Amino acid sequence: MAKSKFSCQSCGHQSVQWLGKCPSCAEWNTFVEELEESSVANKGERSSSLIQKISQNKSRTKQNLGNTKPKALNKIESTETIKLSTKIQELDRVLGGGLVDGSFSLIGGEPGIGKSTLLLQTLGILSEKKKVLYVSGEESVEQIKYRADRLKVRSENLFVVSETEWEKIILMVEELDPDVLAIDSIQTAFTNEITSAPGSVSQVREVGARLMHLAKKTGIAVFLIGHVTKEGTIAGPRVLEHMVDTVLYFESVGGHSFRLLRAIKNRFGSTNEIGVFEMASTGLVEVKNPSELFLQERPNGSPGSVVVSSVEGNRPLLVELQALVSKSSLGNPRRTVLGIDSNRASLLIAVLEKKIGLQLYDKDVYINVVGGLELKEPSADLGIIAAIISSFRNTPLDAKAVFFGEVGLTGEVRSVSKIEERLKESQSLGFKRAYLPKRNLKKTKEFNMEIVAIDSLQDLIDKI
């Protein structure tokens, strides 16, 4: 006899009765009744046996991936992780150097952002050396073929199928024995051993767990496409993000045709890396120099406009940052900030008022990072301060100058990391002057730029 339970479709919390508000995630009206079969103990036995069979037949599972017997850590032979390049440099950067056998990756993004396009282009390249199975639950094989022709993806090792039932998918995997498996999307996949609808918490969690088991036991690299909610997070239970090795978010940049690929979680590399693409008629095109992209529409001679150098992962990015200071007609002046932490901006404004005596208490202050980017690194502090001072004075700054440095509460300018990388990128884009912390001065000798060492905010005001 089937039992009934209620699951939150936002976080996966379960209850024996319906609740209006989820006690776990505080969302309203997210509980849905689901039936739990009485034969739960036997659920997935056939799936597990098929995965075990695939694992035994895999010629490349030399590390005995299916062996679950405990071993002493010092008796385990360490092996070098081999990463297969996708030949898409921006994707390789975000993945941490390439694709790892047995990896489990999740790609999320808004509808129409280009997730399936990126995946199909990647699979087309991987199929030159590997056997690839692309399972789509949202498109027919004819639609996939049409998109592949547009992207000029042609390969005898890329197999496509339109299917959503897990029991059929695992049989295809057993028969085809692929090296790479892609599921588009995880919200459409389901197992008939669970009675709830596809996309429900139970289905996403169960199919996700079986795919993780498949990847780790057989060494098959698995890609998942995931939808996002209106809040911008991947739909389904958060446990899905805990299962996978890599979580990638694909997002637009300021409403333009450009796309950013971010790593939110990565067991094989940095989580701060970003990849930049442009959506074209023939698919996604890599942007080799994103700094030049973000600076191409910068106005010259405008007060409040500066260029700051921020490091995302291992890549230095030069972006334009704008500030506008104007007389306020309100009792509480506005502090509007886009692209940086609003608390950080309020802190810097307070430091300016306290340490420099800049009268901003009756001024509206607007700060914006051009291009829709979000800067999380504190090295942008010096640029924010310079932009506010420039707008307050109504005096433009040097158009060929770049700023970076962290500002403390006492007005001191603190050192930052990766000085050589920042200056190299700035010099390659034609910048002639760099305002940076005095404590970083030792690492600037080899660059043909005018270096302006800044020790404090008063020092900055005297030199700009």
Where does a domain end: 235, 263, 288?
288
Q: What pLDDT does 25 receive?
A: 79
> What is the pLDDT averaged over residues 46-59?
68
Could you tell me if residue 52 is inside a domain?
no
Model's pTM, two decimal places?
Answer: 0.76
Residue 247 has pLDDT above 60, yes or no: yes
Domain identity same for 385 and 451? yes
For residue 46, being part of any structural domain is answered with no
pLDDT at 297: 79
**Segment 407-453, tens digit of pLDDT:** 999 999 999 998 998 999 899 888 999 999 999 988 887 888 899 99
Whether residue 255 has pLDDT greater than 70: no
pLDDT higher than 90, residue 193:
no
Q: What is the pLDDT of residue 347?
A: 94
pLDDT of the residue at 39? 43
Average of per-residue pLDDT across 175-203: 87
Mean pLDDT on 239-265:
83
Please give the average per-residue pLDDT across 127-138, as a whole number: 94
| pLDDT classification of 66: cutoffs 50, 70, 90 | very low
Residue span of the structural domain in which 169 resides:
83-288
Q: Are residues 317 and 392 in the same domain?
A: yes
Q: Would you say the C-alpha torsion 112, 163, 166, 16 has a positive or negative sign? A: positive
Among 288, 306, 332, the domain-final residue is 288
**Pairwise pLDDT comparison (190 vs 5), residue with the higher score:** 190
Q: What is the mean pLDDT of residues 77-98?
A: 85
pLDDT, position 59: 52
Q: What is the pLDDT of residue 256?
A: 67
Q: Work out the average pLDDT over 5-14.
A: 77
Q: Does the residue 257 lie in any domain?
A: yes
Mean predicted confidence (pLDDT) in 270-297: 84
- C-alpha distance from residue 329 to each of 185, 283, 318, 323 (Å): 51, 49, 35, 18
pLDDT number for residue 122? 95
Same domain, yes or no: 208 and 113: yes
Angle between helices 342-351 and 381-393 (to 10 degrees): 60
386: left (phi over 0), alpha (psi -120 to 50) or beta: alpha
Q: How confident is the model at residue 36 (pLDDT cuts 50, 70, 90)?
A: low
Other CB atoms within 10 A of residue 239 CB: 14
| Residue at 56 is within a domain | no
Identify the pLDDT of residue 134: 96
**How far is Cα of residue 31 from the mean position of the Cα atoms in its chain?**
29
- Residue 145: pLDDT over 80: yes
328-360 exposure pattern, b = at least 16 Cβ within 10 A, e = fewer: eeeeebeeebbbbeeebbeebbebbeebbebeb
> Do 13 and 112 lie in a common domain?
no
Which residues have C-beta within 8 Å of that of residue 64, sequence separation ≥ 6? none
> Locate tokens 């952002």: which residue?
113
Q: Are residues 259 and 183 in the same domain?
A: yes
Burial of residue 424, with CB atoms counted within 10 A of its CB: 0-12 exposed, 13-18 middle, 19 or more buried: middle
Per-residue pLDDT at 233: 62
Domains in the chain: how many in total? 3
Q: Where a domain ends, among 235, 255, 288? A: 288
- Looking at residue 169, its pLDDT comes to 94
Structure tokens given for 450: 């005018």
Give the residue, 81 or 179, on which the prediction is more confident. Answer: 179
Query: What is the bridge-based pairing of β-strands 274-280 and 283-286?
Result: antiparallel
Whether residue 254 sits in one domain with residue 173: yes
| Average pLDDT over every residue of 174-185 | 93
Check whether residue 450 and residue 428 sit in a common domain.
Answer: yes
Q: In 246-314, where do the E strands start and end?
A: 246-252, 258-266, 274-280, 283-286, 305-312
Tokens of 14: 């379960």
Q: List, in sequence order, the alpha helices (H) in 111-243.
A: 115-126, 141-151, 166-176, 201-218, 239-243
Burial group, residue 285, by CB count within 10 angstroms (0-12, 13-18, 19+): middle
Same domain for 34 and 93, yes or no, is: no
In a domain, 43, yes or no: no
Do 306 and 208 share a domain, yes or no?
no
Would you state the pLDDT for residue 259? 87
Under a CB-based contact definition with an 8 Å cutoff, are residues 408 and 456 in contact? no
